[in-house]
Amino acid sequence: MAITRHDTPKFVLVSYAEFKSLVAPRGGNLDLSNGEFEALAQSMQTPKAKKAMAAAFNGSPAQLGSAVVKAASRVARTEYRSLIVLQF
């Protein structure tokens, strides 16, 4: 539940279980001893990854904005949460 003031969210009430999941550490640390870092670094050297990075650094503001909107809408579809909004 979101509590708003002048149509701006000020507080959000969530269950204790949801709160615990939000404050819990996300993912593990990158373990340098088992080759995980090397595998990650190697995956970033593929032609596809290099092309994606070149596009990110050389893209126009409009292209970057379009990519962000596309990614955000994909996240929004997969992480939909309903809110009850109280107006004061």
Domain ranges in the chain are: 1-23+52-88
> In DSSP terms, which residues pair with 40 in a beta bridge?
none
Would you state the pLDDT for residue 29? 67
- Helices and strands: H and E segment counts in the chain: 4, 3
Token output for 71: 């990614």
Tell me the pLDDT band of 83, cut-offs 50, 70 and 90: very low
Strands of the 85-86 sheet, one edge to the other: 8-12, 2-5, 85-86
Nearest to 22 by CA among 79, 78, 84, 85: 79
Render pLDDT for 25-66 as a digit per residue (tens, 0 to 9). 776 666 667 777 888 888 889 999 888 888 888 888 888 888
